[in-house]
Structure 1
């Protein structure tokens, strides 16, 4: 399988992004092994299947960047065999949700969206019948942020099946109403129920509060300051882009978003996302049931580094193996693209890269 490996560049944004490429030694990067060799072995052995791109940065400097060509899709539409590289746009799928989480924090600071403690249903006055339901009165914006609204939602099936709640939402006449009218199955705040519908509600609040489409707003307040000039945001039609899964970025630009989170929302001395929002967004709210916890549209975990106590990491995960990990204590950002869409074990390859190649070889 063709591959392209690039090593040791700057991830500075936006002006210094075109730094010369050179090779960093493991010692310079703080690792005890050649990560490129470990990654290459994993791919050739078949242990790491379907990877399209891997980028590891430490303290803003790229230590490892690799691309493997492969079959790909754009929001479910087959693209055939794609030559992957630094300029290739790639589906983020549900990593999009975490980007929307950042956008909500920016919009909140600008007074464009309701605060987390606000009741949710009055934010959508076009549905007075739903707002009048006493069973829904206790649901707040923060419950959409943490996916604890208590509404029925099921995305366990393939994203090609109308029984999948996200697909049913996309086929509904009103996506917002579809989400809001789902039956209440548990009191709000008590159980994590994975829901692209929650993200759709947040995206709707951002769009109506800003008076802009989600892509236009993202370009102005987030992508522009990060030097991200090329992206796509897919949806069923213009103005109805999918807040849950429609974003496409390059791997370097996804890593820049990780770096923004690692640096508490700042880039090159400019506070793009409020620092207090990053802190609130990455504060554990609810267990996800698989050993992780969830904040406000970001996954949260902990890793033991050396002999010290476990350090927190923040993550954004998407269908097919799309991953973004940020481990501030070690200065690490790891971004991964993959093409194993709708495959139940798509998480295994990226997780092996994170745990068995990156963390296992990090110098104490």
Structure 2
């Protein structure tokens, strides 16, 4: 810890072969969706921002809502779900954006989250500040044909989360509780609202480390938990099928990152700003969660610190 490599580490939770292998909590400064919380002494009951690991959970929820017929099918043009935006429909490329392109972040629309989240020009912040989140997302300039290029976009998740909540007729957190959290025994959860009062689907979910690991175990067991099929196995397969290169060496499925290991086996990841990670390594029967509070650090520093923790974890299991 004194080297600075593990600075502001909040929690590490490791499960191997379905059993807890390590659970550690620390003290550090934290935030709740950008609001400072000061110095927090973390323990097993402390909720933590998942930031963009929230996106991966929304991907699961969309699949569950789809199985219930509550949301549009994957080949549905997104604009069909927003008839109030009829003025956008004449644009043929924009109308060619389907739900599947949202899930794989291949809409082909302009979006920039490379800027700091304190910068109002950051697309997610601009979306939150807009009068209509979903019009803002769908009216961005067209940059490429849908399905041809990956562009990291919290806007895609905002739309997916909205469609789930609208189709279910309840807030996103309520749907998540009834369909996913309660069946897994997850009793504590928060979903921070965005500026329009709806859940900040892309980044606002807060869970305990052990409960996020339960979701990782669900992925490992192809949607099953204790003999109950909670998420359809075919949706897990679809979600973990590589759709498009995201960044070097990493593919993207339906809101999950997929990275090949040295032995060629896959690792499945949910990745969140500030050093949040959910990692599932099926070949090792391994699930682990990392929570950190490095939100204000440059992105390379965030990566350096979370990689240092990951290297220790993989070294401890001989991987």
Give the TM-score normalised by the residue count of structure 1. 0.85
Is 1:328 the counterpart of 2:282 in the alignment?
yes
Identify the residue that residue 177 of structure 2 maps to in structure 1.
Answer: 219
Distance in 1 (alpha carbons) for counterparts of 2:219 and 2:115? 31
Identify the residue that residue 358 of structure 1 maps to in structure 2.
Answer: 313
CA RMSD after TM alignment? 1.3
* Deviation digits for residues 50-70 of structure 1 (CA, Å, limit 9, x no counterpart): 210001110211111111101
Distance in 1 (alpha carbons) for counterparts of 2:104 and 2:26? 34
Identify the residue that residue 295 of structure 2 maps to in structure 1.
Answer: 341
Q: Which runs of 5+ in 2 are unaligned?
A: none
May I ask how many residue pairs the two structures share in their alignment?
317
Identify the residue that residue 177 of structure 1 maps to in structure 2.
Answer: 135
Shift of 1:135: 2.4
For the residue of structure 1 that corresponds to 2:178, the secondary structure is helix
For the residue of structure 2 that corresponds to 1:126, the secondary structure is helix
For the residue of structure 1 that corresponds to 2:268, the secondary structure is strand
Shift of 1:120: 1.4
Match of 1:202 among 138, 153, 160: 160
Distance in 2 (alpha carbons) for counterparts of 1:237 and 1:215? 16
Shift of 1:114: 1.2
Distance in 2 (alpha carbons) for counterparts of 1:255 and 1:285? 25
Match of 2:22 among 64, 75, 78: 64
For the residue of structure 1 that corresponds to 2:279, the secondary structure is strand
CA contact (8 A) 2:5 2:304 kept: no
* Deviation digits for residues 226-282 of structure 1 (CA, Å, limit 9, x no counterpart): 111111110236851101101111111111111111110111111111000000000
Q: Which runs of 5+ in 1 are unaligned?
A: 1-42
Give the TM-score normalised by the residue count of structure 2. 0.96
CA contact (8 A) 2:33 2:49 kept: yes
Distance in 2 (alpha carbons) for counterparts of 1:156 and 1:238? 23
* Deviation digits for residues 12-42 of structure 1 (CA, Å, limit 9, x no counterpart): xxxxxxxxxxxxxxxxxxxxxxxxxxxxxxx
Q: Structure 1 stretch 144-153 or stretch 284-293: which is displaced more?
A: 284-293
For the residue of structure 1 that corresponds to 2:302, the secondary structure is coil
Identify the residue that residue 121 of structure 1 maps to in structure 2.
Answer: 79
Identify the residue that residue 14 of structure 1 maps to in structure 2.
Answer: none
